[in-house]
């Protein structure tokens, strides 16, 4: 006991001495400490910039119909509007889903234009199972697909799930609801665009009634290193030998077995191919879940990422980055990421090497865009067929700044899905000149 008591002061003195020495080293050489700390923080991890599935699968558009039937496209430039609405609706309790008999497009449109309601829309259908994930619910009918959620503000007993393709309407019974939180959100300083829901081909579209001024933005961009992606996709923490083959337009990295990464530096994109997938085909629910997991595996920033499309032909899911409520279309040819899960068990991930960091001051003014009908009239006058226009969407065009390759300018414009591909309406008009 006496020996222990004798050593206590000595041990304490030694600990203090070590602490002082370490502190002195940091004080006298802070640069080295910062480099070590920075090196540690840059270590790739699976959790880097990830977002939960319920955030990536949020609705992408909000339309409000007032008591007189006037409709507005809503956005909030300070906070994420759909996140706020999700938090409010997640406190509601839903009980069951019943299909409503709809006899015509006209009757279906009455749900899209219901007075005193809020409509949350997806760019592409999801199913009830994903709805449960996003809105913390436990509805049955997991396989039921829809692309719109209509929330009556004067009826606390029902909400409605709508799908444009077959004009399907599903009534969801509400056991517990409180619309006051939603009404409070509606009173915030929102960016409002006057619209009217109308049919365009086989889909309903929020027609912008007249010209609208949409702000331009500039952002610092980050290009992730090739080593970062080869480590995540080819090595995966294993002692795998990765070979590299440089070609004129790309560099191909391979693990020598079943995985290959092709990097296109000029375009700032990459293609990852994995031929070792065990599951050859996926259901819709499995595709949504697997593609989200794939995006996490790639390691691209997910802060502004949203689900934007699904193709059943080859089980392909597309994700786009969003800024101030509007999608970025030409971050690459396919958006931010496109996850293909082919029937042969092949997985293909197309993704951009670039990501937005922080906004920077810009002298660029807002751009005044024409209304939806004016855009359609210009295109048809130029010789395009309205029947081949499947969608019109205000979005941001990704343009590299002439002053710095570290800055990208986001310019608002109309994007037209014509004959199967997205192009700006000005590009289409120039092609006909």
Q: What are the pLDDT digits (tens) for 86-124? A: 999 999 999 999 999 999 999 999 999 999 999 999 999
pLDDT value for 201: 86
pLDDT value for 27: 37
pLDDT value for 361: 86
* Contacting residues for 401 by C-beta, under 8 A, at least 6 apart: 218, 407, 408, 409
pLDDT value for 48: 57
pLDDT of 23 over the 70 cut: no
Mean pLDDT for the chain overall:
87
List pLDDT tens digits, range 372-391: 999 999 999 999 999 999 99
pLDDT value for 49: 65
108, 89 contact by CB (below 8 A): no
Helix (H, G, I), strand (E, B) or coil at 54: helix
List pLDDT tens digits, range 25-62: 433 333 332 233 233 333 343 345 689 999 999 999 99
> Pick the residue with more confidence: 17 or 325?
325
- DSSP-derived secondary structure for 62-75: EEEE-TTS-EEEEE
List pLDDT tens digits, range 153-209: 999 899 999 999 999 999 999 999 988 999 999 999 899 999 999 999 889 999 999
Q: How confident is the model at residue 333 (pLDDT cuts 50, 70, 90)?
A: confident
Tell which residue, 145, 151, 152, has the closest CA to residue 167: 145
Measured distance CA(174)–CA(94) in Å, rounded = 4
26, 89 contact by CB (below 8 A): no
Helix (H, G, I), strand (E, B) or coil at 132: helix
SS (H, E, C) 304-358: CEEEEEEECCCCEEEEEEEECCEEECCCCCCCCEEEEECCCCCEEEEEECEEEEE
pLDDT value for 219: 94
Count CB atoms within 10 A of the CB of residue 308.
23
pLDDT value for 202: 86
Cα dihedral 141, 147, 152, 153 sign = positive
How much is the pTM? 0.86
pLDDT of 16 over the 50 cut: no
Token pair for 224? 């992730």
272 burial level (CB within 10 Å; 0-12, 13-18, 19+): buried
List pLDDT tens digits, range 208-263: 999 999 999 999 999 999 999 999 999 876 656 899 999 999 999 998 888 999 99
pLDDT value for 257: 83
Length of the chain: 433
Measured distance CA(201)–CA(167) in Å, rounded = 13
> Pick the residue with more confidence: 283 or 48?
283
The share of the chain scoring above pLDDT 70, in percent, equals 87
List pLDDT tens digits, range 248-263: 999 999 988 889 999 9
Q: How far, in whole angstroms, is CA 133 from its chain's centroid?
A: 16
pLDDT of 1 over the 80 cut: no
pLDDT of 418 over the 70 cut: yes
């Amino acid at each position: 006991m006496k020996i222990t008591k004798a050593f206590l002061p000595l041990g304490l003195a030694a600990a203090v001495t070590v602490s002082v020495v370490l502190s002195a080293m940091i004080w006298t050489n802070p640069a080295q400490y910062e480099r070590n700390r920075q090196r540690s923080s840059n270590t790739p991890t699976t959790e880097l910039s990830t977002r939960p599935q319920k955030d990536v699968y949020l609705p992408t558009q909000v339309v409000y119909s007032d008591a007189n039937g006037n409709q507005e496209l809503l956005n909030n430039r300070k906070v994420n509007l759909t996140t706020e609405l999700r938090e409010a609706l997640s406190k509601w309790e839903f009980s069951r889903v019943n299909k409503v008999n709809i006899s015509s497009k006209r009757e279906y449109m009455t749900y899209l234009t219901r007075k005193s309601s809020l409509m949350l829309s997806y760019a592409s259908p999801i199913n009830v199972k994903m709805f449960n994930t996003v809105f913390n619910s436990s509805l049955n009918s997991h396989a039921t697909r829809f692309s719109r959620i209509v929330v009556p503000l004067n009826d606390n007993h029902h909400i409605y799930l709508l799908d444009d393709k077959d004009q399907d309407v599903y009534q969801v019974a509400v056991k517990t609801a409180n619309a006051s939180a939603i009404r409070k959100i509606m009173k915030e300083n929102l960016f409002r665009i006057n619209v009217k829901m109308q049919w365009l081909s086989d889909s309903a579209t929020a027609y912008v009634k007249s010209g609208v001024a949409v702000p331009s933005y500039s952002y610092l961009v980050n290009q992730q290193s090739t080593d970062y992606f080869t480590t995540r996709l080819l090595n995966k923490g294993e002692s795998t030998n990765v070979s590299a083959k440089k070609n004129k337009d790309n560099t191909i990295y391979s693990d020598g077995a079943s995985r290959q990464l092709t990097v296109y530096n000029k375009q700032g994109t990459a293609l990852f191919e994995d031929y070792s997938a065990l599951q050859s085909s996926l259901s819709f629910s499995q595709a949504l879940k697997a593609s989200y997991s794939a995006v996490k595996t790639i390691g691209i920033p997910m802060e502004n990422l949203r689900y934007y499309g699904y193709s059943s032909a080859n089980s392909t899911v597309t994700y786009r980055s969003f800024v101030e409520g509007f999608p970025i279309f030409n971050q690459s040819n396919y958006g931010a990421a496109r996850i293909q899960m082919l029937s042969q068990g092949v997985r293909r991930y197309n993704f951009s090497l670039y990501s937005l960091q922080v906004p920077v001051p810009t002298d660029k003014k807002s751009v005044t865009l024409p209304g939806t009908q004016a855009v359609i009239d210009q295109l048809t006058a130029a010789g395009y067929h309205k029947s081949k226009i499947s969608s019109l969407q205000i979005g941001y065009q990704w343009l590299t700044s002439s002053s710095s390759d570290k800055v990208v300018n986001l310019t608002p414009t109309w994007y037209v899905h014509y004959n199967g591909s997205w192009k700006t309406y000005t590009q289409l008009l120039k092609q006909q000149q």
